[in-house]
A and B are shown apart, each in its own frame.
Chain A
Amino acid sequence: MQQDALFEYLLRLGDNTLVLGHRVSEWCGHAPALEEDIALANVALDLIGQTQLWLGLAGEVEGTGRSADYLAMLRDVWDFRNVLLVEQPNGDFGQTIMRQFLFDLWHVLVLDALQASSNTQVAEIAEKALKEARYHLERSSDTVIGLGDGTVESHDRMQAALDLLWPYIGEFFEPDAIDLAAQENGVGPDLSRLEAAYREQLDRVLKQACLTAPTDFFAHKGGKTGFRHSEHLGHLLTQMQWLQRAYPGASW
């Protein structure tokens, strides 16, 4: 795989975990119960840890000396390659946990496939991250089911969250030149095969959660290519990158 395409591919993996990890960390100290505070911090922590690995490798592949921190803290919106789903605001707890579930389901499938990557460094990171992602998925799907099949209010909030986030699922599976290059070189999986597995598992969980999948398959896109992020990402970066931007060159 061409070095610049591989770099882009790794940014996608690392930016997804970075941006979602950041979003989840915004909950710290404000969750609905102590156990949720602990669990959300744990998810954020795992995602930030995975970010260090993916962006660290991206920097190595790029070969110009940019570190994981540099890539996280000193790129602007248009250079980010995360899907639009993960930059969506936390909303209520229902939106946060639905976003997490929709991501975790994809994450497990993609990491599982990446364990067989022709790039051994990618395979190694995927193997380590998969253990964490499986745990995240178990927890987020249980919570989606619990709240979907809970009270009338919790059900309605989960349905609203699903309706809101539904149009952001499609971006995962729409392949572009980078995805196809990864697939051709055996670095990454065939996205259409992942999608079939994703939809099947999604249906199963939604059924248990008494939630109804919208029938419209429209999909927003522009996150993973970096062409057009949502307005939310800039605000997230403003906060995340502030110290590095305000005090350039300092060591922390």
Chain B
Amino acid sequence: MYAQMVKSTGQGVKDPSEMTDQERAFQERIDRGDRIEPKDWMPEHYRKTLIRQIGQHAHSEIVGQLPEGNWITRAPTLERKAILLAKVQDEAGHGLYLYCAAETLGVSRDQLTEDLLSGKMKYSSIFNYPTLNWADMGAVGWLVDGAAIMNQVPLQRTSYGPYARAMVRICKEESFHQRQGYDIMMKMAKGTPAQKNMAQDALNRTWFPALMMFGPSDAESVHSAQSMAWKIKMNSNDELRQKFVNETVPQAEFLGLTVPDPDCKWNEEKGGYDFSEPDWSEFFDVIKGNGPCNTERLAARNKAWDDGKWVRDGLMAHAEKKEARRVAAE
């Protein structure tokens, strides 16, 4: 997902008998469905896990501008260009809300940014794949924003108030992005033979990386169990992946496109599709920094940050001078 494989810092879920009174009261509030707010007491592990999760999510929105930004200057019509610009602008806005949510936990945006740029913090594996033809703008909206929605809609009910509220705003826009992506796919799939090829090519390359977004099976993971007990993770990775496949395969059929998995078929008994697992060794390569675009993505963000230093410093110096002049005038 936008936050993949977030490790909780604890050793798994404590039994209530091992908890301190404070921890027990905290867990009871979560179990009752109370929202935790920034000023409330919270276990240190809860705070740290959330910083990782929200930070990783924010970084994904920011790095996620790049694969789509790649096509803004080549968009085929003025309207498509405007829609794509607006979408990428929304993603930057999502990053901003999420950094603000993380800041309520006592970490600065600059610190999180430094950790992204040094490679210490991760962002979603999906943004390390290239966008190679115009239909990728359709596939990204349809599948990537679509997969993000699967995870983020339940997170609107997450236990941490600022995160939940950020998700409410973000989800509205993500579903809009998904529809726009599907609309591009539709145009391409129903277009000329060349356009249809682009659409199929984009689906072929995006399908498995989209399935990887949910992360490897986490049924046995102690980290997931803790995050679920804290309600900062609402569903298991496999559960969400299955839901995504169930919704997406009929949409691909409607487009007249073929999901690149010969074993993908409806299973009446389970009431869902059977499908092949993505290549998890590829996933771990991407996470380690060996995806097709890891180097470029991180280099682009580092360059933007380094080249922008004089601008940030200049505006800061001006604000200080202005303030000094105001004080002097009083």
Contact = CB atoms under 8 A, between A and B. Distances in A.
A150 B313 contact: yes
A151 B315 CA distance: 8
B74 to A, nearest CB: 6
A88 to B, nearest CB: 16
Contacts of B313: 150-151, 153-154
B263 interface: no
Interface string B54-88: 00000000100110010011111111111001101
Nearest to B187: A252
A113 B195 CA distance: 45
B85 A28 contact: yes
Contact of B72 (A28, A92, A150, A151): A28
B219 interface: no
B64 to A, nearest CB: 9
Contact of A22 (B73, B88, B300, B319): B73
Contacts of A30: 69, 300, 303-304
Given A28-B65, A250-B191, A250-B195, A93 B81 contact: no
A89 interface: no
Contacts of A41: 85-86, 88-89, 92
B182 interface: no
A146 B187 contact: no
B65 A48 contact: no
A146 B65 contact: no
Interface in A10-49: 18, 22, 25-26, 28-38, 41-42, 44-45, 48-49
Contacts of B76: 73, 243-244, 250, 252
Given A32-B307, A150-B313, A72 B78 contact: yes
A94 B69 CA distance: 21
B300 A29 contact: yes
A31 B80 contact: no
Interface string B311-325: 111111111010000
A34 B62 contact: yes
B256 interface: no
A73 B80 CA distance: 13
Contact of A240 (B74, B85, B300, B311): B74
B86 A29 contact: no
Contacts of A68: 78
B311 A154 contact: yes
A159 interface: no
A23 B319 CA distance: 28
A69 interface: yes
Nearest to A70: B77
Nearest to B310: A153
Contacts of A52: 78-79, 82
Contacts of B65: 28-29, 37
Interface in B122-158: 134
B318 A150 contact: yes
B88 A150 contact: no
Contact of A31 (B81, B93, B304): B304
Contacts of A64: none
A93 B300 contact: no
Contacts of B315: 143, 146-147, 150, 154
Given A29-B65, A48-B85, A247-B194, A147 B74 contact: no
Contacts of B311: 32-33, 36, 93-94, 147, 154
B120 to A, nearest CB: 19
Given A30-B304, A31-B304, A45-B86, A73 B77 contact: yes
B192 interface: yes
Contacts of A45: 82, 85-86, 89
A149 interface: yes
Interface in A63-94: 68-69, 72-73, 92-94
A149 B321 contact: yes
A154 B315 CA distance: 9
Among B86, B96, B303, B310, residue most surrounded by chain A Cβ atoms (within 10 Å): B310
A151 B309 CA distance: 11
A243 B194 CA distance: 11
Contacts of A49: 82
A151 B310 contact: yes
B308 interface: yes
9 contacts: A28-B85, A52-B78, A93-B308, A147-B314, A151-B313, A239-B73, A249-B192, A250-B192, A251-B191
Given A32-B311, A41-B92, A146-B318, 17 more contacts: A25-B72, A32-B305, A33-B312, A37-B92, A52-B78, A68-B78, A72-B78, A73-B76, A94-B311, A150-B313, A150-B318, A151-B313, A155-B314, A240-B74, A243-B134, A244-B76, A252-B76
